[in-house]
Amino acid sequence: MTSSYIRQAFLDFFKSKGHVIVPSAPIVIKNDPTLMFTNAGMNQFKDYFLGNKQAPYKRVADTQKCLRVSGKHNDLEEVGVDTYHHTMFEMLGNWSFGDYFKPEAIAWSWELLTEVYKIDKDRLYVTVFEGDKKEGLPKDDEAFNEWKKHITEDRILMGNKKDNFWEMGDTGPCGPSTEIHYDGRSDEERKAVDGKTLVNADNPQVIEIWNNVFIQFNRLKDGSLEPLPQKHVDTGMGFERLVRVLQNKQSNYDTDVFTGTINAIEKITASPNPSKGGELGNNSSKRSIALRVIADHIRAISFTIADGQLPSNNGAGYVIRRILRRAVRYYYSYLDYKQPLLFQLVDIISKQFENVFPELSQQKDFVTKVIKEEEDAFLRTLEKGLKNIETIVAASSVSSGKTISGKEAFELYDTYGFPLDLTKLIASENSLSVDEAGFEAEMQQQKQRSRAATAIDTEDWVIVNDEVAQSEFVGYDSLEAKTKIAKYRKVKAKGKEQYQIVLEATPFYAESGGQVGDTGSLSPTLSFGEGVKILDTKKENNLIIHFTEALPNDVNAEILAKVDVEKRKSTAAHHSATHLLHAALRNVLGNHVQQKGSLVNAEHLRFDFSHFAKMTDEEIAKVEAIVNEKIRENIPVIIKQMPKEEALKLGAMALFGEKYGDIVRVVIIDPSYSVELCGGTHVGATGGLGFFKIKLETSVAAGVRRIEAVAGKAAENLIQQQFQQLASVREALKNPKDVLKAIETLSTENTELKKQIESFESKQLQSVKEALLQKVQTINGISFIGEQVEVNNADALKQLCFGLKPQLAGYVVALVSNISGKASVAIMIDDKIAADKNLDAGKIIKQNIAPLIKGGGGGQKTLASAGGQDASNLRKVIEVVKDLL
């Protein structure tokens, strides 16, 4: 039974039960401040459970791409070490939104597992919620009685709140769950130990395969529970675990979900399976772990990039970079493969999933190039890290403790991507230990800092009008609306209090699709009372939330919601400009260009796109010319609502990583030029942009370029500023006829003058050097020069040292200078003297000199320098060095 068959059988089964099969949502989460990635099958249906949106279907089923490496689901360091943890995984799910409940969900679970998949009933156990007296929650007798129709009572086990009560978060929808567990041990092991004693006991062979959650309560901030008006079913079955069970394997990695990738890794790296033909899954060798790590991580990396999340140094991008670097360090260290590997596996993954997650195969070349550039960059960093650890090992070897400190181990982890086990391995090879407790303390400090930076205290919603489920957006047609507050809540972040308000109807555009949220005001429609400023507008799932620092005086009164008109107009102009720009880039550079991100506000636009070379000046000029030609044509910007399939037939461009509904909004600027799916606001015709100008073209990530540009009023301001600068330059140059020629002449004269100054300085240094050679003192057999000299810059002190070196033997040189009131110091020591006398110029600078001049510095053992704010102790600096001799 292949993994493809198993997946399709699940979808076909629930289709036969009246479920609509929906596609996976992108793995990258947008419009939900509580999540970076889709980490459970229910994420894309969150709005339905919260009541923010009406579900289009009562029953759906899907397979969802999920990623769990952040937040409470942080298993990264366990992935590959054991047989069942993964970064990316598939979650098979069936869902009921106020339709069927426990009887149907339980019966269908049993039918699919035992009649379709033919799993041995004797190997299955189920758990139901035992109740919780503190919460006032009774035992889930309904689920218990339903299970008795299908399985013997001794296989129905009671589960506590931790295992059998699901909650979306600290607040929100929740309810009891029933889990199905599979005992994969041998018959002999099953006879020796009863399987029910191993359920939820972390036994790697007695595993949960399916969880049916019955959402029937809402958790309030004070911890109390209230019944939901509609009850829902939310199920999740780990695809990889299910395949393992049905293919009778002891490890997920021995299934055909992973074996194709693992075989490719073995072939590329010439690294045969360490189990020599046996199963890889339970082999604990470093090479086996490396194969599992790489086979897992390449899926997560590939699909997140395909869904629009590029590796970066912060947020979700940093999570992906960490996963990629973990894979690199495993093949580098344990497969002895010193060149990029991961990018060679993208083709295999894209073919494996092209019929279920086609977005990767559609962007295979782009994803491949991004991964290769990331690998190249990290391999260079890894080499630096190995050199760094050599220095640490050398220092630790001579210390009395023979220990690499926790701080050093954490720096290797945080800066160079070294896992603790790699640092421990290198340490053990050098008869050293690692302060693991210190490392863990540093790790906890970092986690606490991260949590503190993002901590938000959110109170419960205060309902003003309970008939409003979601806010109606009217801002496409009007920039003001008479409305009322539907609900509000207080939030506190970083010690600052704000309010979040949901209106019955709103003209305010909520930040999405790269376009910033509107600002404006809420004013009472009657003459009395003060209004409040809307500072920002964002989406949280499907809610439009308005941010204010205060509430209107009367939260029940009618109010006038008014958008900042000028800001909206400038923002809309820049949004329309991104559509013109996108089409022009594809025209000039080729159809491989795809939007990879954007920012649209009143001041400018920022547009990221896939392209692997810096644009030439000629290409930039062509793009600008095309956009401005379209502006002059004053083409109507036509916006239509239509079914997604119809829009795609029109040639509409959809962005990878975006979740679109069945009905989409299409922005058309000449059907032969630009047709895009877009929810943003736009001008009525391209002439409203006035003029378009590119300010900057640069690289933003591997395989991604960025253009910053302006249109409309912002473009007018830019041109005005440029002309003013040019006028100032003309005036400074005494108004020459040819400004460029005047600048070239000035540059030539400047170059000549610099050469003359350098010549004068060289002659001056030669004179100073000869004078210094006349002042050599002999101290304990060492030739010592210690003098204060007059030079123009700190580098001149080093030049003097290098100039003195060939004419001295067995020397120590200490030169100091007062340069514009600041202290500069250079110390040079002969190699033999440094070794014989145990002198280190770098240490002398840091320990003896820097405090005297209130500064800092460092360098090598034989040459070091320093700078400081206090030049009054320069003679003392020379005496300190002299005393060391």
| pLDDT tens digits along 551-597 | 998 898 899 999 999 999 999 999 999 999 999 999 999 988 999 98
What is the separation of C-alpha 766 from the centre of its chain, rounded to a whole number of angstroms?
A: 56
DSSP 370: H
Which of 216-225, 390-399, 789-798, 816-825 is modeled with the greatest confidence? 816-825
The kind and range of the H/E element at 648 are helix 644-649
pLDDT of 544 over the 70 cut: yes
Instruction: Report the C-alpha gap between 843 and 864 in whole angstroms.
Output: 9
Average confidence (pLDDT) over 492-506:
89
pLDDT of 289 over the 70 cut: yes
Q: Per-residue confidence at 278, pLDDT binned at 50, 70, 90?
A: very low
Task: Tell me the CA distances in angstroms from 148 to 2, 55, 428, one per residue in order.
Answer: 32, 32, 56
pLDDT of 280 over the 70 cut: no
Those residues whose C-beta lies under 8 Å from the C-beta of residue 113, and which sit 6 or more positions away, are: 119, 124, 180, 209, 210
pLDDT of 829 over the 70 cut: yes
* Total residues belonging to the chain: 885
Better pLDDT: 633 or 651 = 633
What's the confidence (pLDDT) of residue 47?
79
Task: Kindly calculate the radius of gyration of the chain based on its CA atoms and give it in whole angstroms.
Answer: 34
What's the confidence (pLDDT) of residue 285?
83
pLDDT of 12 over the 90 cut: yes
Residues 492, 499: contact at Cβ < 8 Å?
no
Long-range CB contacts for residues 697-700, cutoff 8 Å, separation at least 24: 697/614, 697/615, 697/620, 699/614, 700/608
Better pLDDT: 506 or 69 = 506
Average confidence (pLDDT) over 338-349:
96
What's the confidence (pLDDT) of residue 528?
59
Structure tokens at 308: 């629009």
Q: What percent of the chain has pLDDT over 70?
A: 95
Better pLDDT: 417 or 345 = 345
What's the confidence (pLDDT) of residue 582?
97
Instruction: Report the C-alpha gap between 340 and 344 in whole angstroms.
Output: 8
Phi, psi of 415 (to 5 degrees): -90, -40
Burial of 882 (0-12, 13-18, 19+ CB in 10 A): middle
Instruction: Report the C-alpha gap between 804 and 797 in whole angstroms.
Output: 11
pLDDT digits (tens, 9 = 90+) for 738-769: 889 999 999 999 999 989 988 888 888 888 88
Q: Per-residue confidence at 397, pLDDT binned at 50, 70, 90?
A: low
Average pLDDT, the chain: 89
Q: Per-residue confidence at 277, pLDDT binned at 50, 70, 90?
A: very low
pLDDT of 655 over the 70 cut: yes
What's the confidence (pLDDT) of residue 71?
42
The kind and range of the H/E element at 395 are helix 364-398
What is the separation of C-alpha 351 from the centre of its chain, rounded to a whole number of angstroms?
A: 26
What's the confidence (pLDDT) of residue 42?
83
Which has the minimum average pLDDT: 122-131, 649-658, 694-703, 707-716?
Answer: 649-658
Which has the minimum average pLDDT: 4-13, 73-82, 326-335?
Answer: 73-82
pLDDT of 274 over the 60 cut: no
pLDDT digits (tens, 9 = 90+) for 411-467: 888 777 676 767 887 787 778 888 989 988 888 887 777 666 656 788 888 989 876
Residues 83, 97: contact at Cβ < 8 Å?
no
pLDDT of 276 over the 70 cut: no
Average confidence (pLDDT) over 293-301:
95
**Considering only CA atoms, which of 108, 105, 106, 22 is closest in space to residue 65?**
22
pLDDT of 479 over the 50 cut: yes
Helix 420-429 to helix 436-454 angle (10° resolution) is 160
* SS3 per-residue string spanning 466-485: CCCCCCEECCCCCCEEEECE
* Cα end-to-end distance, the chain, whole Å: 81
Residue type, 481: A
Token pair 């929808």 in the structure block, residue: 173
Instruction: Report the C-alpha gap between 717 and 710 in whole angstroms.
Output: 9
Better pLDDT: 87 or 449 = 87
Instruction: Report the C-alpha gap between 447 and 71 in whole angstroms.
Output: 10
What is the separation of C-alpha 39 from the centre of its chain, rounded to a whole number of angstroms?
A: 14
What's the confidence (pLDDT) of residue 39?
81
Q: Per-residue confidence at 72, pLDDT binned at 50, 70, 90?
A: very low
Phi, psi of 631 (to 5 degrees): -65, -45
Residues 765, 803: contact at Cβ < 8 Å?
yes
Structure tokens at 406: 């926790």
Which of 5-19, 327-341, 449-463, 787-801 is modeled with the greatest confidence? 5-19
Determine how β-strand 156-159 pairs with β-strand 505-506: unpaired
Instruction: Report the C-alpha gap between 359 and 592 in whole angstroms.
Output: 14
What is the separation of C-alpha 267 from the centre of its chain, rounded to a whole number of angstroms?
A: 31
**Considering only CA atoms, which of 837, 836, 883, 845 is closest in space to residue 864?**
845
Instruction: Report the C-alpha gap between 850 and 846 in whole angstroms.
Output: 5
pLDDT of 77 over the 80 cut: no
What's the confidence (pLDDT) of residue 455?
65
Q: What percent of the chain has pLDDT over 90?
A: 57
pLDDT of 647 over the 60 cut: yes
- Encode burial over 388-425: b for 16+ CB neighbours within 10 A, e otherwise: bbeebbeebeeeeeebbbbebbbbbbeebbbbbebbbe
pLDDT digits (tens, 9 = 90+) for 593-628: 999 989 999 999 999 999 989 999 999 999 999 999
Average confidence (pLDDT) over 344-365:
95
Average confidence (pLDDT) over 19-35:
84
Which has the minimum average pLDDT: 381-390, 503-512, 634-643, 724-733?
Answer: 381-390
